[in-house]
Structure 1
Amino acid sequence: MATTAAARPAGPAPVAGQARADTAVEWYDTTVATIAAAGTPTQVADSRTWAISWLAATRAVERTPAGVDRGAFQEAALAGAVHKSLVTLVPARTAELDAALRRTLDRIPDGAAEDRGLAAGVRQARTVLASREGDGLDPASVEVPFTPPAPGPGVWQLTPPDLGPAIQAGTRHARPFLLDRPDQFRLGPPPALGSARYRADLAEVRAVGEANSSRRTPEQTETANFWLGSSMPLYNEPLRVALARSAREPLADRAELVALFHVAQVDTQIATSDSKYAHLRWRPVTAIRSADIDGDPATVPDRDWTPLHTTPQHPDYPSGHTTYAGAAEEVLTTLVGARTGPFEMTSGTAPGVTRTYTSWRQLTQENVDARIWSGIHTRSADVAGVGLGSRVGAYTLAHFDDLLR
């Protein structure tokens, strides 16, 4: 149960000269920690948790009533909305979340504004949670069985070394937050087998994506390693940078930044799954090893070709990493500008490596190149992914107000 103002003693008075805590960043960090501890098996479920929690916060903060202390109401509303959403979706973290809520409320003066704000946050969390019931983004719905089609030129097949089952095939059937339907931005077909674009794609990934490539530089290998894992957790830091550096902006706008970012990411993942399973384009490892069946005498098979990194078990076109990057860049560029002061990032798949960025576009470009240097995507799949993510991001920006009504 959420802590209420009446159930606790008044918090300590602020120390003179002490910087006031940033409630938005505080609950951003709490959301990061909660999702990391939850260990959800599907990335889109994590994005859903973010989207629900911060959409509820945005709705609660934007509906500040007249006649109350605006700051106290809004901070309590944001904390109450994110807290209620997270304890509902990640109940194993209730103790930690209750403690975080107490810390926030202890800073807010007791009174009607705090009480009404907290109640508004809880109310909006319940409303958003109810609206997303049965949306098909739970792990069981996302990971539905999928039988690959019969082998053929260009057709996706299970990939070595373990030939594991297809993943995320059910995401394409989920209910988006804002898209009219999952196939609203379905990509056109990938480059035709034997076309100049197809040949160039295959030649590039064959040369620089092979496990023991002599053409790939150490820096390129480092980039491939840096972006190897799920790219969404890596975007926690850029989004946090944008949030922290917007401290002078209204709290409603800051909550909306986080909510809009993750609503776009959920819908992008749905759209990505739709295009992947609509086109079922084979992965580079299959294309290179089976080049003798693609109808192009200019491509020669290499039965022993192995990518730098193990190929994920879903089709090539488009790249999921780059669709997420395209959506992220679109949202961040529109809301906070294309460039920012230098910020650093680290990655769990590249221990000891710290990279510095000054624009969101740098992250996108690294995602594009990394998947080629890993040997797991073609450049066409990566570039198409950026375009798809950007279109979903732009649509989210244009229609986000529909979720606030």
Structure 2
Amino acid sequence: MLPRPVRRTLALAVTPVLAASALAAPAAAASTSSADLALEWFDVTAGTVAAAGAPTQVTNNRTWAIGWLAATRAVLRTPSTPRPEDYRGAAFAGAIHQTLITLAPARKAELDAALATSLARLADGPSESDGLAAGRQQAATVLADRADDGLDPASVNTPFTSSPAGAGVWQPTPPSYSPATQSGNRLARPFLLRRADQFRPGPPPAVGSERYRRDLAEVKADGSAGSTTRTPEQTATATFWLGSSYTLYTEPLRVALAATTGRSLAERAKLVALFHVAAVDTQIATSDTKYAYVSWRPVTALRAAGHAEWRPLHTTPAHPDYPSGHNTYSGSAEQVLTTLVGARTAKPYTIGSPTAPGVTRTYSTWRQLTTENVDARVWSGIHTRTADTAGVTLGRQVAAHAVREAYRLFR
């Protein structure tokens, strides 16, 4: 073992679920050690996924969900031991480390170094060694349980045969006319949903209906590449929210985690675990809805209506319009963070975007992110507003279900 020159105390309190309260001052019973460890392994997980993650977003959410679920279970099941804080610290780090070296073996050297850093804060002895073993065992158990769950990249992007062209029916979109992606998500095994269509919304507005015409007119005017009605600020918003939802929401989740430093290590691990469990289940539900209705994208609808040269501001993703996946993700994220951390942050927070390098935006609630996401997909010209708002509702419903049913994961 490495020498242990630095000793810190981990939080002793372990509660079943995070309280639904606003970000508050640290509780007296908790210490900064759990905050350090949680943020340390948050950054390790994010760095590992960035360097060696899967090409499919949901697969990366799965990696987080498995690692942090295993860590939560290991910490919650702390036995009677002379040094419970050391047991919990080793169990937490060991669970995430074992998950990541299994799912991202190319990063083993970096992950081993991170584990050594965490263990160096703990005292040598049976509490540490038993905790480490318990964390590794929990990771192995969750990994085994999630084997063949259909969330690997090949299964996620299983081939999908487009329906014959017709009014309202999705078809490959310009400029590349690529085959549909992410259709396999709907066949994957959720963490907590009973079935993929559990919260499936009703169908999109009928072609030719008043709402359909209103939606399409808005995208035609405000979402076109050459729009004269979209403002520079609206264009900037569309560009800021263009990238992967997983990437865009990693920073807000870290903000939430950092703001819960007064809570126990188990509570904070649950926050991250449930965020990603809900994200996985939301993407399964999203795919189910998209491929149940196979609704065409605005560019296809507008060109079919006679606007042959119409182009969106941003390239249309290769899957159906209804509902918006960005907005199911944002609805899910908002619901988890609001329920488990509180609607408002104690102070404003600032985040960046990979699609707007050097640009930052500042917020004080989680709902502000959702609101901008709804507008952004319209202003990008790639979704109707109805697809966006239906997506938010679906994401919130799936996430609320995940929080309600969390006991099934942690019992």
For Structure 1 versus Structure 2, the TM-score category normalised by the shorter chain is over 0.9
Aligned partners of 1:28, 1:187: CA distance in 2, in Å? 34
Q: How many residues were matched structurally? A: 386
Match of 1:226 in 2: 240
Match of 1:127 in 2: 141
Aligned partners of 1:68, 1:316: CA distance in 2, in Å? 57
How far apart are residue 75 of structure 1 and its match?
1.1
Aligned partners of 2:135, 2:53: CA distance in 1, in Å? 26
Match of 1:402 in 2: 408
Match of 2:344 in 1: 339
- TM-score, normalised relative to structure 2: 0.92
Q: Does 1:150 align with 2:164?
A: yes
How far apart are residue 41 of structure 1 and its match?
1.0
Match of 2:3 in 1: 10
How far apart are residue 231 of structure 1 and its match?
1.3
Aligned partners of 1:30, 1:68: CA distance in 2, in Å? 29
How far apart are residue 88 of structure 1 and its match?
0.3
Aligned partners of 2:63, 2:134: CA distance in 1, in Å? 19
Aligned partners of 2:82, 2:327: CA distance in 1, in Å? 44
2:406 alignment partner, SS class: helix
2:68 alignment partner, SS class: helix
**CA 1:327/1:13 → structure 2, altered by over 3 Å: closer, same or farther?**
closer
Deviations 1:205-240 (A, max 9, x none): 000000010111111101110111111111111111
Match of 1:32 in 2: 46
How far apart are residue 9 of structure 1 and its match?
3.0
Aligned ranges for residues 322-337 of structure 1 at < 5 Å? 322-337=327-342
- Structure 1 segments unaligned to the other structure (5+ residues): 1-7, 292-300
Deviations 1:231-287 (A, max 9, x none): 111111111111111111011000000000000000000000000000000000001
1:355 alignment partner, SS class: strand
How far apart are residue 14 of structure 1 and its match?
5.4
Match of 1:280 in 2: 294
Q: What amino acid maps onto 2:393 in structure 1?
A: G
1:344 alignment partner, SS class: strand
Q: Does 1:366 align with 2:380?
A: no
Which one is further off, 380-389 or 103-112? Answer: 103-112
Aligned ranges for residues 293-304 of structure 1 at < 5 Å? 301-304=306-309
Q: What amino acid maps onto 1:217 in structure 2?
A: T
Preserved contact between residue 328 and residue 391 of structure 2 (Cα < 8 Å): yes
Q: Does 1:192 align with 2:197?
A: no
Q: What amino acid maps onto 1:147 in structure 2?
A: T
1:342 alignment partner, SS class: strand
Q: Does 1:389 align with 2:395?
A: yes
Aligned partners of 1:218, 1:66: CA distance in 2, in Å? 61
2:405 alignment partner, SS class: helix
Supply the RMSD in Å over aligned alpha carbons.
Answer: 1.1
Aligned ranges for residues 1-400 of structure 1 at < 5 Å? 8-13=1-6, 22-291=36-305, 301-340=306-345, 341-400=347-406
Aligned partners of 1:343, 1:90: CA distance in 2, in Å? 31
1:107 alignment partner, SS class: coil
1:311 alignment partner, SS class: coil
Q: What amino acid maps onto 1:397 in structure 2?
A: V
Preserved contact between residue 313 and residue 379 of structure 2 (Cα < 8 Å): yes
How far apart are residue 327 of structure 1 and its match?
0.5
